[in-house]
Structure 1
Amino acid sequence: MSDAPPALQVPDLQESVDVSEAAELRTLDRSPHLYHLSFNDNRGHPRTKRDGTRVRRRRGVTSATGSSESGTEADDETETIVKALPAPQTKPSKGLKVGEKDEDTLLTPSQLDDEGRRLEGEGYFSTKESMTDAEESKILLKRRLGEFARRCSEVGLMVIMLVLVLCGRDVWSVAKIWRYELLANILIMAGLVAAYPVKLSLVDTQKTITKPWQRFRVPASFDPATVLYPPLLPVMVALIVSPISPTIVLPNIILGLAALPQRLFPRSSRLGGYNALHWLISILPLVIGSGSKWLGYVSSTADLSLSTETLVSLYPLHHALLPPLHYLTTNSLLISELHLLSIALINLLLFARAPQSTILKACLWIGGVSLFACTERVLHWNVILARVPRWKLRRPGHPDGDRRSLLDAAVEVIHLQRATRAFQGIKNDNDSDADEDHDPHTPIRQERAKQMTFNQSTDSRLQQLLDQENNSIVSDDPGITETSRPLLMTKSRRNTLPAPRQKPELVIRQDKKRTKARNIHRNWCLQLTSAQVDRRKMAYAAYVYGVIIIIVLLPVRVYVSDNALYGSEAVGWAIGYLFGQLPVIHNAVDYLGLDLWITMPLQPSLDYQALIPDALPLDMVEVRGNVGAANMHLLLIAYWVLVLVTGLVAVFTLTPYVEVDTRRKIFHGVMVAMFLPATFVDPCYCALALALVLTIFLLLEVIRAAQIAPLGTAIGRFIAPYVDGRDLRGPVVVSHLFLAIGCAVPLWFSLAGLHREDDAGGAWKSWETKDGARDVGMLAGVICVGMGDAAASLIGRRYGRRKWIWVGGKSLEGSAAFASAVTLGLLFGKIWLWMGGWHDVEPLHSTLDWAIWMVKAISCACGASFMEAVLTGANDNVTCPVALWLLVRGMRL
């Protein structure tokens, strides 16, 4: 028997791939392939000719690799060509799918396993052996060892961070109070993870394995993010801020256990969307703390700020938040990020006490929930109208029943021609063995069909394809009418093998059901004319904007006035907070008698002659006291506007000459220039500004995603040149949101761990830290995202030659640049804190103290850089700043 025709043979692709390049083979990533140009084939191998030689890449053509595994393409390994918005539909996230089927997977594969790489004889296709078993095993073993080292390093880094957190200031004393709850948390997590392989071996019945130990296999795609970050990060953050609020520890322990993956628990305990066994395990620390007399210590739950009923309800609250959050973000967030977002929102709801966090709580919870409840259906209708092409709408003067035009008839004729000539090219493709048939620009599906051989025979293959085509023509084609459908079912095909006829009645019945369901969903918009669609869009936009204004002016304003401003009216307080120390505004308020509405701060001395000598040693405390807090707020706004305008001018100027990643890093630099020198001047004001910026970003993103006229289209066009592959995964553009969150979260956490000044009465209470305390951890987000990530991307992309041993493309040069930039940022923050005259929480008194501090700073920077290198299951722009903040506070920098 002769071999298969050359057109169906698989070329020896592995001959040109050595071991060092095997780590760079492209696998499934988060970037949608439709928006990227790649010179690789569908498996990531360089394209080869028939003889196995590699096709040389043309000068100037770059390969667009996948997005980084940490969530963004703003890294040192990607060069992407992003085309447009909105996001296309992508494949759902895949995990370990053996024995069980569940939407929440324990494994979020960053790379394919070896069994996924080799198409064995279990599917429709099979490949010819192009490498010996020894060579293939060597490559797979190298990759598996690299991934194993990566995962072990990730787990080890989290353990080191946990130990350092316990070494933080006054953390150990609080940890001893909750020692049994913390120990129960660790033991429960370790026990569930250790029992998972046993559970998997019991339910995995798809393969027959004779040896028992063969069932216990850790795949190379194992990603421990779902069992590391949602359960542990909230607990570590709670421990750092626990000296100020000790009662925050136990709720976060319960929430961490509630965020464990569902696959760790048996399916039999899942009732009504909730896992009863999971719920019981999540409250075990509460049970241990409540009934702890037999353990020999006083129960720590006696001083809880939350009731026992509230603590027990944390599990259903967390899992009730996940569906709406997933509905709003779909594929934009990974499962770990979704759990972290839910936990953060619950903490904000339950423990917001400071004015800044209370305002953020009002914006996200009251404003967000109200907006979602009032406009969800309207936004959905507007999206449907925006997606319908104009030529499909009803023309004016034509009734709904007579909408057929010349274009409709032409479309139907085209469908009929395609139906009769669907398989004319099959014979030609199989019989041709010319080298010219191999087109380097052939689509991926055609290329895959040419490189693979069917396991089934030719008759069976053509028969299967013919059946599928018959079903699709009769049931799925919207361009075929009821009158033409019987003709297609009875007319015999040409140039194909004869197919057994199906029962027309059964096919027509299925087609009617599908057509009816489809028409109910979308035919209402096709009955509208273009003018009616425009009027509806304007009505929807007016309704949405009106709802936003009403929500801001009524529930949000009232809640902020009562809970954050201690009874002061929000608008009047804002006027006094910004303009209250201007002599003109102050005199106007006194003259008009608006004291009851506008809360005015005390007037500063405004001794301009004293500002010059006070500013020479950069004693910013005295400068702020002489200028006035409100006037300093105006100066900071002017400085921020100047930096932002300069950054936008630079971006618009460099857009035609630089790539997407470089343009994105300009915004990182803008964040550094805005907040690195300004945070210590007034951290509470900067925290409020970041909270408002995040709220505005979310609101604008809702308008853009729903395509609300006229701002939706304008916002989409503005941000389109700066998006990456992660933004195209779902309907939400997350880059600017993650940038704002990454810069703001460490500052919010630092303020949560500091006492507030309560001497100022009324509306100005808690708007300043006690004794003007500051710490370097406030700058961790700006330094990590703005300096470290930008340096890693810019340096690694251009000078990165040495890669980490695992797959992902991260370079050692990029990681070194990340660590160096973070070290310099921490050093600048410490010097600026010392020169500004602020009260340092961790002061340095001698040269030895500075030397020890430098060693600690380098260690923190290396830890954050290593986290960025190994991270795959969460976004590095959020996780790495939190990790750096934990390291800084744990090492007492």
Structure 2
Amino acid sequence: MPDIGRDDPDSLRVLSRSPHPYHRHSLELHEPSDRLVHRPGRRIPVDNAASEPFPSLGSLVNSTTASDSGTEADDEHFLKGLPAPKARLHKGLRGQNEPLSGSSTPLLSPAVMEEEGRKRASGINQGDKRAISERIRRRRELVRRLAEMLLLGFQGGMIAVNPQVQPALRVYQEKIILVGGLLAVLAAAYPLRVMIWTYRRGKPSDLIPLRIPPAFDPAPLLYPLFIPFFVSLLVSQSVKGVVLPNLVLGIAALPRALFPGSRFWENMSSSHWLLSCVPFALEKIIPAVGPPAGDELPHEVLILLYPLHQTLCLILHHLTTTSLLVAELHLFSIALINLLLLASSPQAVILQAVLWGGGLGLIVFCSRVIRWGISLARVPKWRFRRTKQPAKRTSCLRMLKQFLSLALGRPRHDQRADYGGADVSDSGHSTDGYLDGILNRTIRASSVIGGNEISPVALETLRPSRLSFEQPAFGTPPRRHTLPSVENVVSRSKMSTPSGRRKRSASSSVRAFFSLTQSQASLRKWLYAGYVYFCAVAVILVGIRAYVQRFALSGEEPIGWALGYLFGDLPQFRFHVVNANLESWICLPARGDDLLACSSGWVEHLRRSSLGEANTRLILCAYWVSIIVVGLAIVFRLSPIYEVDTRRKVFHFMMVAMFLPTIYVDPAWIALALSIMLAVFLLLDLLRASQLPPLSKPIASFLTPYVDGRDLRGPVVISHIFLLIGCAIPLWLSLASLGRAGDGYLRGWEVPTREVSMVTGVVCVGLGDAAASLIGRRWGRRKWLWGGGKSIEGSLAFAVAVFGGLMAASLWLRIGRWPTTVVHLEVPVADFIASGHGSLMSVLGLSNLWAWALSESRKAALCASVASLTEAVLTGGNDNVVVPVVLWTCVKSIGM
């Protein structure tokens, strides 16, 4: 075994049986390039890494990503998502660099470290072969990253030519140019700083000592900066003052290594904070920048965005540890801050109350109790204190038998009576009696093998002396008749489990529960669970309920409002409400306006006049429940036949069947339902991770057959949560960019217009991702140039499925005759069906039909191609979340 220094904690950590992949040694948010972890032939010792003036330039040379394609959360088997096995296997051992939230780096690294590492790690021939293979892999990776950057640039060009974005671009033109110049200066200065740092430590072999790291991934540098900015431009027409905060947050999310003076041990950097204030701090210094608009956030709020973002990233990293990558953490934090500062519609305010109010409430009141519950669940049953059993009375016959055995000199078989002071093991036998039995069998076996039978008296003479006493514990009587070697054996048994394995050193939080008995531990688990459930119900019924009543429902009581919103059109319900004089508490909807319903299309006429708005919501709920029941029945039916990946895709098709036909019917209600389901998913996963009875085990048992590699990287099962978020985010963003209507208690709950971008999340996640996985795994033979788990056949299937979904959504939008935000050719299918005669061509006109189909197919093909290529090159984020947002920006900007 190679010699490992005592001062190298990372090397010693690899050989540990309990690597604790979720344990952090500091409160900082680990970024991919924050530490020098280079192993072979490193020139900078670990002890001196913190003292280096430029410590965040290293790359994880020997690191392995979670999978070849980056994030295979929904399209690969979970065994492929696990890291590659090491040469020396240990149970429970993860990768050496796995404790970090992602092992990739978006920055360049000094070449001297990699050169020295290769020279010492291998010989000359092997080093040459490895250098050639690495050079080829770096070139392919460079092509992949250039394609990723070009796709982002193409999306920015599509957004810039959108007429609805032009006013925001004119208002923020100077600020955007200023931020772009700042990024250019930082990006250009970083390689120079790397070169200066390298030349100070020796003369390198290359004139330009720069290398692209083997795990190079620009996602933490690109996506947290550009995606929120693109989204803010597209919703700026309806949400005032959204662009400037996202410019500040984009700078705050950049890697700290880009900013001079930043150190990896600092939670916040002064230079980083100062440069994040550039978009609004230079308004008075540079006249061309101009003052902010009237609806902008105050400067006091904008200047606190950097510490708010960094603190929120630390909290999210503490809660999710290695479940989320660095880019995902920053995107999640930016989305939460936007929701906190800019939520105005009722649906957004309710989502804000659920995520911020519910999350902070549970963290404040339940975090310590949940931590105790997790520590208690880690204690094995055999570590708890055993209950004292009452002493059994010795009968006269038993005493006579013991006396005769002593008189005849025979070995005693009643070990419990003979060794009454010994500790009794789980099987009911004492340690001393167990050792005596082994000794008797050993001596008898050796005598039989030797050919001479030994007598019981001779056996007693061969037995070692029993006159030694073991030092008793405090408050216990001394133990008699023990072997001299028993003390050593007992001390060794205290260091090993009953199965023979060496005991792992328990933390102080776990050792605190060793004094409990099994029944006391079970009672304490139930008390912890009861407290958590009580706090969750109290936060919902007291905090969230009061906030929603004041800021989302204009003072209406939430429970009464919800009853009227769902059951207000039922005649019996209305009768009982009016009869009991509860109209001041339960809001009953008014009758539909026939003229307005008819002008909005035949589906709106059916919803408002024929069925009723509340009854339509009940019908949608019944439809969703039926889809869920049928889908679960199919999943359970396919369990013994098909593999896990195929069964997982059933949930994707369930999302398509649930939301693709229904989003246009009542988008505000579906947005509210998705917000509630997201809160339920997060709460259930919290209960599962806390391991509190009675819900933790059933939830874990249900989710275990469907988890993948990303779910096993941390404590959060993210597959179903990301699936829901990927379907919901495009709908939430579309509602934020559209106008609202409604009177009375339904003010803000009616959306007068529809658009295809509402269903892009369902189309992308439900159809595109499922088709790419199913087709690529079975018929994918040609991989992309850069390798990985994504095939060209799978990407083509993704593009075709997304194209078909967008065309179907556009056709359904025309058939339903909903008003749209984009001028389209009308397709009066309802009039044609009502007329009962003629042909479709005579009503529509052949030229109009072909013009509409050609225009929509071009737009759909362009958007599907961009989304498919993004899904193929993406590694730094989950494709179930990032790709739907990319598809939404394309559809929204192109005006489909």
How far apart are the structure 1 equivalents of 2:217 and 2:232?
25
Does the Cα contact within 8 Å between 2:102 and 2:325 map onto a contact in 1? no
Alignment pair present for 1:548 and 2:536: yes
2:788 paired residue number: 808
Tell me the distance in 2 between the aligned counterparts of 1:563 and 1:211.
65
Q: Distance in 2 between matches of 1:327 and 1:311?
A: 25
Cα deviation, residue 119, structure 1: 6.7
Distance 1:78 1:550 in 2: 38
* Residue 386 (1) aligns with residue 377 (2): yes
* Map 1:196-595 → 2, pairs under 5 A: 196-204=190-198, 208-211=202-205, 213-267=207-261, 273-293=267-287, 295=288, 299-397=290-388, 406=425, 520-595=508-583
- CA deviations 1:378-431 (Å, max 9, x no partner) are 1011111111111111101289xx9965479989x99xxxxxxxxxxxxxxxxx
Give how far 1:89 is off.
7.0
Aligned match of 2:856: 853
The change in CA–CA distance for 1:732 and 1:92 in structure 2 (over 3 A counts) is farther
Q: Cα deviations across residues 630-670 of structure 1 (Å, max 9, x unaligned)?
A: 11100100100011111000011111111111111110010
**CA-CA distance at 1:105 after TM superposition:** 8.4
2:748 pairs with one of 743, 757, 766: 766
Match among 595, 605, 615 for residue 622 of structure 1: 605
> Are the structure 2 counterparts of residues 305 and 152 from structure 1 closer, same or farther at C-alpha, using a change threshold of 3 Å?
same
2:167 maps to which residue?
A: 173
How far apart are residue 344 of structure 1 and its match? 0.6
How far apart, CA to CA, are the structure 1 residues paired with 2:217 and 2:869?
16
**Shift of residue 206 of structure 1?**
9.7
Cα deviation for residue 74 of structure 1 reads: 2.4
1:139-150 matches, within 5 Å, as 139-150=133-144
For the structure 1 residues 536 and 852, does the alpha-carbon distance in structure 2 shift closer, same or farther, using more than 3 Å as the test? same
Structure 2 residue 677 is the aligned partner of structure 1 residue 655:
no
Q: Decide which of 860, 869, 891 is 1:888's aligned counterpart.
A: 891
Q: Which structure is higher in RCO with an 8 Å CA cutoff and minimum separation 6?
A: 1
- Check if 1:107 corresponds to 2:93: no
Question: How far apart, in 2, do the equivalents of 1:393 and 1:566 lie?
Answer: 54
CA distance, structure 2, for counterparts of residue 139 and residue 786 of structure 1:
38
For this pair of structures, how many residues does the alignment match? 710
Amino acid at match of 2:603: M
- 1:701-712 mapped onto 2 (5 Å cutoff): 701-712=685-696
> 2:162 corresponds to which letter in structure 1?
G
Cα distance between partner residues in 2 of 1:767 and 1:120? 63
Q: TM-score, normalised by structure 2?
A: 0.74
Amino acid at match of 1:186: G
Check whether the contact 1:254–1:314 (CA below 8 A) recurs between aligned residues. yes
Q: CA deviation at 1:71?
A: 2.0
Contact 1:180 1:288 in 2 (8 A): no
Q: Which residue of 2 aligns with 1:449?
A: none
Contact kept, 8 Å, 1:171 with 1:242, in 2: the verdict is: yes
In 2, distance between residues paired with 1:192 and 1:128? 39
What amino acid is aligned across from residue 139 of structure 1 in structure 2? S
**1:728, distance to aligned residue in structure 2 (A):** 0.2
Partners of 1:681 and 1:713 lie apart in 2 by: 38
Q: CA deviation at 1:707?
A: 1.0
Q: Distance in 2 between matches of 1:337 and 1:208?
A: 37
Residues 1:751 and 1:403: Cα distance change in structure 2 (over 3 Å): farther
Contact 1:69/1:873, CA 8 A, preserved across alignment: no
Q: Which amino acid aligns with 1:865?
A: S
Matches of 1:342 and 1:177, distance apart in 2: 26
Secondary structure of the structure 2 residue equivalent to 1:632:
helix
Counterpart in 2 of 1:502? none
Secondary structure of 1:656's counterpart equals coil
Match of 1:724 in 2: 708
Deviations 1:270-320 (A, max 9, x none): 896211110111110112334442x2x7x2414243211000010011111
Tell me whether 1:776 sits opposite 2:779 in the alignment. no
Deviations 1:852-872 (Å, cap 9, x if unpaired)?
A: 321121011010000000001
- Report the Cα offset of residue 181 of structure 1: 1.0
1:81–1:891 distance in 2 versus 1, CA, 3 Å? closer
Q: Confirm whether residue 835 of structure 1 aligns to residue 835 of structure 2.
A: no
Q: Partners in 2 of 1:802 and 1:303 — Cα distance?
A: 55
How many angstroms apart in 2 are the aligned matches of 1:795 and 1:618? Answer: 38
Which whole-Å CA distance do the structure 2 matches of 1:202 and 1:155 have between them? Answer: 27
Pairwise CA distance, 1:68: 5.2
Q: What CA distance in whole angstroms lies between the structure 1 residues aligned with 2:524 and 2:77? A: 45
Mapped pair 1:69 → 2:60? no
User: Which amino acid is the alignment partner of residue 750 of structure 2?
Assistant: E
- Partner amino acid, structure 1, of 2:372: W
Partner SS, residue 183 of structure 1: helix
- Partner Cα separation in structure 2 for residue 403 and residue 245 of structure 1: 76
Is residue 708 of structure 2 the alignment partner of residue 693 of structure 1? no
CA distance 1:271–1:877, change in 2 (3 Å)? closer
Structure 1 residues 565, 342: CA separation in 2 closer, same or farther (over 3 Å shift)? same
Q: Aligned partner of 1:527: which letter?
A: S
Question: Deviation of residue 875 (structure 1)?
Answer: 0.6
2:709 partner SS: coil
Match of 1:751 among 714, 717, 735: 735
Deviation of 1:191 (Å): 2.2
Question: In structure 1, what is the Cα distance between the partners aligned to 2:568 and 2:488?
Answer: 77
CA contact (8 A) 2:376 2:510 kept: no
Q: How large is the Cα RMSD of the aligned pairs?
A: 3.7
Distance across 2 between alignment mates of 1:853 and 1:180? 35
Q: 1:867 aligns with which of 856, 866, 870?
A: 870
Contact 1:76 1:800 in 2 (8 A): no
Are the equivalent residues in 1 in contact too, given 2:327–2:876 (CA < 8 A)?
yes
Structure 2: stretches of 5+ with no match in the other structure: 3-20, 22-63, 84-90, 391-420, 436-484, 493-503, 826-847
Q: Contact between 2:101 and 2:321, CA under 8 Å: does it hold in 1?
A: no
Give, in whole Å, the separation in 2 of the partners of 1:206 and 1:89: 38
8 Å CA contact 1:395–1:403 kept in 2: the answer is no
The counterpart of 1:825, out of the listed 783, 797, 805, is: 805
> How far apart, CA to CA, are the structure 2 residues paired with 1:262 and 1:859?
36
Offset of residue 602 of structure 1: 1.0
Deviation at 1:700, TM superposition (A): 0.3
Deviates more, 1:381-390 or 1:249-258: 381-390
Alignment check: 8 A CA contact 1:329 1:730 kept: yes
Q: Aligned pair in 2 of structure 1 residues 302, 832: CA closer, same or farther (>3 Å)? A: closer
Deviation track 1:226-284 (CA, whole Å, cap 9, x = no partner) reads 11001111111000000112311000100010000111123457896211110111110
Out of 687, 696, 699, the position equivalent to 1:715 is 699
The 1:403/1:661 distance shift into structure 2, 3 A limit, reads farther
Aligned counterparts of 1:805 and 1:114: Cα–Cα separation in 2: 28
- Hey, what does 2:45 align to over in structure 1? none
Deviation at 1:732, TM superposition (A): 0.3
CA contact (8 A) 1:105 1:263 kept: no
SS of 2:663's equivalent in the other structure is coil
Q: Which sits farther off after the overlay, 371-380 or 262-271? A: 262-271
- Secondary structure, counterpart of 1:247 in structure 2: coil
Q: Which amino acid aligns with 2:305?
A: L
Letter aligned with residue 602 of structure 2: D
For residues 133-172 of structure 1, the aligned pairs below 5 Å read 133=128, 136-172=130-166
Name the structure 1 match of 2:48: none
